[in-house]
Structure 1
Amino acid sequence: MFGRTKEPPAAAQPAEPSAAQPGQGKGRPTPTRAEREAANRRPLVPTDRRAASASSKEALRAERRRVQQGRINGEEKYLALRDRGPVKRFVRDVVDSRRNLGEYFLPFVLVLLLVQLAVSSSGNNVLFLASYALLYVGLIAVVVDSLLLRRKVRRLVAAKFGDEALFRTGVVGYAVMRALQLRRSRIPKPQVTRGQKVA
């Protein structure tokens, strides 16, 4: 209108098709949202409750067996809090490496009770009093042996882990309680043999 010349619009040039690279395609259509949700949907209540309950109970039993076996074998992650740590493991080895009188005390007491029952029915007062005397002798022997174990544990733990480990972990009482148990019933089971040197 004011002397401006109109230029014809440039012809739209077709875009070059991108070269298809092999291996990039999925080879399947993209699933819709409804299809994805349907695939992830699980029933809140199983259709076969009896089978689901049986499988759940079996899984719990297997887990309990694994935990119990781990505790027996002394695996650290399965142990109770009172049994964990290198200090407690060392104390268990010290106790298990010696012959403790405390582990024989319970069978000894059971035998004495049977003897007392047999003697009381016969009316022999001398044997009855002798069985009581044996009971007190056995008790005193266990106390002396526990004191010797206490001294040994304190000395070895202080030398290996320092004095603070004695008060932080309560190892003395732990050692005495383990020594009073029958060797076969100890959990974790002994990892050393009797007479083996513990370093």
Structure 2
Amino acid sequence: MTWNPFKKNGTGDEAQKPLTEAEPGERKGRPTPKRRLAEERNLRPLVPKDRKAEAKESRRRMRERENRQYDAMRSGDIAHMPKAERLPWRIYIRDYVDARFNIGEFFIPVAFAILILSMLVTIKWPALSVPMMLLMYAYLIA
């Protein structure tokens, strides 16, 4: 169907006409605003008037969003995690890592115990310092 500017009846391009504030079929009761006035009403500044306050507010919003995402990561709430963490393979890997037992989780306490034990044993039996060092390396490799 072609557009005819002289056609008076309502058939044709009704779906393409933008709706005004008045109800469809009613007259709007006021003149159409001038283009200059409409542009002024829709005009928004590119740079805010108070840049420091806007930057402070932006940092506050970003901090709130990051805190929500951090809380979601701690609680496991997938709906509020960052988009990169919602990927199916990331979810699978997180579940796999959380479910398995790993001796690396206990490395620091065991290494600290071996270190203290090697210092105490070396005072009385200096020959045991090499086996203690080898024990430490074996645990590190494992």
TM over 0.5: yes
Distance in 2 between residues matched to 1:130 and 1:99, nearest whole Å? 27
The whole-number CA distance in structure 1 between the counterparts of 2:117 and 2:83 is 42
C-alpha distance in 2, partners of 1:98/1:64?
Answer: 28
Q: Look up the match of 2:139.
A: 138
1:141-189 Cα shifts (integer Å, max 9, x gaps)? x3xxxxxxxxxxxxxxxxxxxxxxxxxxxxxxxxxxxxxxxxxxxxxxx
Give 3-state SS (helix, strand or coil) of 1:79's partner.
Answer: helix
Which consecutive segments of 4 or more residues in structure 1 shift more than 6 A?
Answer: none
Shift in Å at residue 123 of structure 1?
6.6
Q: CA deviation at 1:115?
A: 3.9
**TM-score normalized by the length of structure 2:** 0.56
Partner AA of 1:112 in structure 2: I
Unaligned 5+ runs, structure 2: 1-23
* Pairwise CA distance, 1:66: 3.8
Q: TM-score, length-normalised on structure 1?
A: 0.44
Higher alpha-carbon Rg: 1
The aligned counterpart of 2:12 is none
> Which runs of 5 or more residues in structure 1 are unaligned?
1-21, 143-199
Root-mean-square deviation (Å) = 3.5
- Report matched runs for 1:4-23 at 5 Å: none
Identity %: 33
Distance 1:44 1:124, change over 3 A: same
2:64 maps to a residue whose letter is A
Find the counterpart in structure 2 of residue 85 from structure 1.
88
Q: Is the 8 A contact 1:109 1:135 kept in 2?
A: yes
Q: Is the alpha carbon distance of 1:122 and 1:74 closer, same or farther for their aligned partners in structure 2, counting shifts above 3 Å? A: farther
CA distance in 2 between partners of 1:128 and 1:65 (Å): 48
Aligned with 2:54 (options 52, 55, 61)? 52
Q: Is the 8 A contact 1:119 1:128 kept in 2?
A: no
1:106 shift after superposition: 3.1
Whether the aligned pair in 2 keeps the contact of 1:70 and 1:79 (CA below 8 Å) is no
Higher relative contact order (CA 8 A, sep 6+): 1
Find the counterpart in structure 1 of residue 21 from structure 2.
none
Cα 1:92–1:26, aligned 2, differ >3 Å: closer, same or farther? same
Q: How far apart, CA to CA, are the structure 2 residues paired with 1:91 and 1:122? A: 46
Residues 46 and 52 of structure 1 are in contact (CA less than 8 Å); yes or no, is this contact kept in structure 2?
Answer: yes
Aligned counterpart for 2:65 among listed residues 63, 66, 81: 63
- Change beyond 3 A, Cα 1:50–1:34: same
